[in-house]
């Protein structure tokens, strides 16, 4: 159930002043799934993003690793965490009503631009984006992750277990051509087939809302909150699925993205053969978890919109089928 941190504007203003020495002059709350997010200006006409992370889904250790990754990626187009007066980049925020931990606060530099969403772009743009995501993935693999442990819905070791738990929420009447049993079986097979391939730190949520376009289509990848140890084929599958669907389920877009990604990272034939299953599994799980959130009463308008969109996407992707997907996207 989604339970975002409750943060008032006066609380934000106080935190910025005491922790960062920043005087807030203008504030706007941003749309977010689990966390409380604000963009704000200062009296020095600087702009930042303040993010209060939901402690139900993010721990201090996880956030510390995310910040370590972002610092390591500082030469690439990703958010940059802002140091506090103390030099720290992360703070525990207590509930204003003295009811315990309210969340974890991190402030980032503001990235000027608009989200990609459904903007129409030419093939060269998608190839460039695919290459950029692969380059970020390569750099992330340099970060030590041996002791990084995180239970997450998109972790390949947990995905089929999570889907078994939430399958009762899957709206089979709206997507009759999806067999949840088959999706669970494919995830179990993938887990076995990938056991000899090393996991790496992966973003896992490069969707159209987490890609920001600046001037001259300069691209930025944001929101590393779902950082997990996973396989590259999962990260690529999620990325291709979202980019394809953002372009009205145009599989050619996925093909252009794959070309750019493959210019940096080459996946094995074994990984490529499971790419379609990964895409279908991601959307099946997203729809099921989203419907669970709605039925539990914890959904906001953003969650409901995501569920409706993902149902349409899943219908179209399954209608394409594996053979067409592989031919158009991968070229096999």
Residue predicted with more confidence, 102 or 267: 267
Q: Which residues, 6+ apart, have CB-to-CB distance to 96 below 8 Å?
A: 6, 8, 11, 102
Handedness of CA 285, 289, 294, 296 (dihedral sign): positive
Cα 210 off chain centre by:
7
254 neighbors 243 (Cβ within 8 angstroms): yes
Residue 225 three-state SS: coil
Can you tell me the mean pLDDT for 119-133? 96
d(CA 225, CA 57): 9
Query: Between vectors from CA 212 to CA 226 and to CA 91, what angle results, nearest 5°?
Result: 45
Report CA-CA distances (Å) from 68 to 141, 142, 200: 12, 11, 15
pLDDT for residue 329 is more than 50: yes
Q: Which domains are delineated in the chain?
A: 9-110 (3.30.200.20), 115-330 (3.90.1200.10)
Judged by DSSP in three states, 108 sits in: strand
Residue 18 has pLDDT above 60, yes or no: yes
Which pLDDT tens digit goes with each residue over 174-191?
Answer: 999 999 999 999 999 988
pLDDT at 85 over 90: yes
Q: How far is CA 314 from the centre of its chain?
A: 18
pLDDT at position 3 over 80: no
Is residue 229 predicted with pLDDT exceeding 80?
A: yes
Q: How far is 101 from 78, CA to CA, in rounded Å?
A: 28
Q: In the numeric block, which tokens belong to residue 38?
A: 């604000």
pTM metric for this prediction: 0.91
The pLDDT > 90 percentage for the chain reads: 74
What is the token pair recorded at 148? 């990084």
Measured CA to CA, the distance from residue 251 to residue 266 in angstroms comes to 20
What gap in Å lies between CA 129 and CA 120, rounded to an integer? 13
Give the model confidence (pLDDT) of 127-170 as tens digits.
Answer: 999 999 999 999 999 999 888 888 787 777 678 889 999 999 99
Helix (H, G, I), strand (E, B) or coil at 310: helix
Taking the C-alpha atoms of residue 51 and residue 29, their distance in angstroms, rounded to an integer, is 10
What residues contact 51, with CB distance under 8 A and at least 6 apart?
Answer: 35, 36, 37, 105, 106, 107, 108
Q: Which residues of 151-160 are buried (b: 16+ CB within 10 A; e: fewer)?
A: ebbbbbebbb
Whole-number Å distance between alpha carbons of 274 and 331: 14
Gap between the Cα atoms of 317 and 308, Å rounded: 15
């Amino acid at each position: 159930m989604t339970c975002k941190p409750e943060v008032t504007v006066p609380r934000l203003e106080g935190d910025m002043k005491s922790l960062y020495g920043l005087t807030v002059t203008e504030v706007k709350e941003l749309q977010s799934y689990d966390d409380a997010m604000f963009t704000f200006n200062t009296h020095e006409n600087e702009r930042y993003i303040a993010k209060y992370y939901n402690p139900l889904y993010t721990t201090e250790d996880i956030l510390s690793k995310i910040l370590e990754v972002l610092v390591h990626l500082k030469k690439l187009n990703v958010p940059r965490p802002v140091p506090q007066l103390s030099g720290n980049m992360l703070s525990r925020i207590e509930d204003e009503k003295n009811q315990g931990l309210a969340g974890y606060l991190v402030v980032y530099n503001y990235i000027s631009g608009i989200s990609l969403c459904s903007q129409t772009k030419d093939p060269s743009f998608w190839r460039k984006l695919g290459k950029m995501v692969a380059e970020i993935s390569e750099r992330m693999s340099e970060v030590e992750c041996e002791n990084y442990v995180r239970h997450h819905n998109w972790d390949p070791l947990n995905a089929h277990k999570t889907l078994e738990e939430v399958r009762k929420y899957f709206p089979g009447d709206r997507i009759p051509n999806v067999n949840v049993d088959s999706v669970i079986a494919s995830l179990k097979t993938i887990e076995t087939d990938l056991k000899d391939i090393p996991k790496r730190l992966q973003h896992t949520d490069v969707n159209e809302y987490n890609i920001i376009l600046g001037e001259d289509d300069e691209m930025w990848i944001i929101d590393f909150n779902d950082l997990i140890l996973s396989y590259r084929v999962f990260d690529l599958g999620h990325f291709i699925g979202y980019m394809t669907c953002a372009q009205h389920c145009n599989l050619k877009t996925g093909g252009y993205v794959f070309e750019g990604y493959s210019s940096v990272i080459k996946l094995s034939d074994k990984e490529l053969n499971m790419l379609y299953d990964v895409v279908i599994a991601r959307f099946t799980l997203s729809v099921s978890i989203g419907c669970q959130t709605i039925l539990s009463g914890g959904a906001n308008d953003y969650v409901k919109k995501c569920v409706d969109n993902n149902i349409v996407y899943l219908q179209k992707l399954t209608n394409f089928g594996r053979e067409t997907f592989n031919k158009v996207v991968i070229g096999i």
